Structure 1
């Protein structure tokens, strides 16, 4: 099964950002992708105080455009994330990742649980997501069908990557381990260069599953901030199957359900796990 990550460098123009993403979705589909993954908040990167102006309800606006793209291109589309309107809250939004199947049916929605609040040594907020985002709830696993069978998947977003319990303590993981973890991110350059690959490979190894990680890249806010890029696809043994640098573009790789089964038979760590 061919999987594609679309690595993007969005700026402040929501319409342009979405248009670029849709073009890449079509291109990846034409290259044979069955699953396409977008990065976190690919729709807007700018002044956080203005983020609420980009928001939509599920089924409307950008979410509807992405639903149509999944259906038109006949792909499973993991939609990175976009600002979801919260009823009766004009100042905050959910950071929401929606997944559509190839028929345009919504099969998963996850609202980011862990918000990145980074303070410098002088107490100045460098990143403070909780100023504009509301906390979500733990993600739920979901099933989807492909040409090579049924896959059990989980979506997490960026900072969630640092909290392995969000995966290991998931009720579904206790009975049916995940075959794929999709990570959509806007992982910063400063932390990404030291931690991104290590964390991704660790999640793949400890859960004996594929990790498909789609990150933002490049500078935004007139060069004030920078994301790390380096989107990658990692197999259940922790090997990097495919990786981009910091360029905008499409990352593609074949993944195989048999590799998940083989890894778990080769080293039955999940079967040996004790739940405390």
Structure 2
């Protein structure tokens, strides 16, 4: 079973949500705001990948305000990140670089937005299209922060002290003068590496037990009842944590009150 940082985050957040999302492969369409954010992120990553491949990223004509915003965000980011542009001393660099690591009957899988390898150091770069920049504590608690450098150290000759993880936060919805890209860089070390190994072994052991439980009971544990996580979860009704409200006959408008939709 391939395991990504997203799956580990979901498992740690709520085992039942992990069940619905990955074991039962249920999905809930994102709301318009979420979809817009996902689209912006996908476009930004695609343009950065095109640049690494040597392809032109400037369109002949910017057909919409959204397109103009994302291209301006890329240009603003490149102007603020000279180390992303440099290629001296670099022996390897690749966009969307994938690595896998077998561990305890699982295959840990990571995809780096950009990996830069030099003779004496390695840097993992990650682009994020966020409205606000999370605190370092929140970033460190995320499984992406733990898994990305761990897999690189385990699958290369670099020591943990030679590895860094850099985040670039880009906000395309505001003016350039108001929101320059924010750069957060985190060094790695042996102590953190061994701590991550222990955490991985623990959570994978838990996942193994959950998978056996799912085979026999078709059900994984839920978070404690009353948790605020349920109020933001798309599976809250399915888990019977939020009651589905059925409108009464009085609440249903008549056909005469419904505006016609022109197609």
- Tell whether the structures are fold-level matches, with TM greater than 0.5: no
Indicate the structure (1 or 2) with the bigger Cα radius of gyration. Answer: 2
Larger relative helix fraction: 2
Q: TM-score range by the shorter chain?
A: under 0.3
Q: Which has the higher strand share?
A: 1
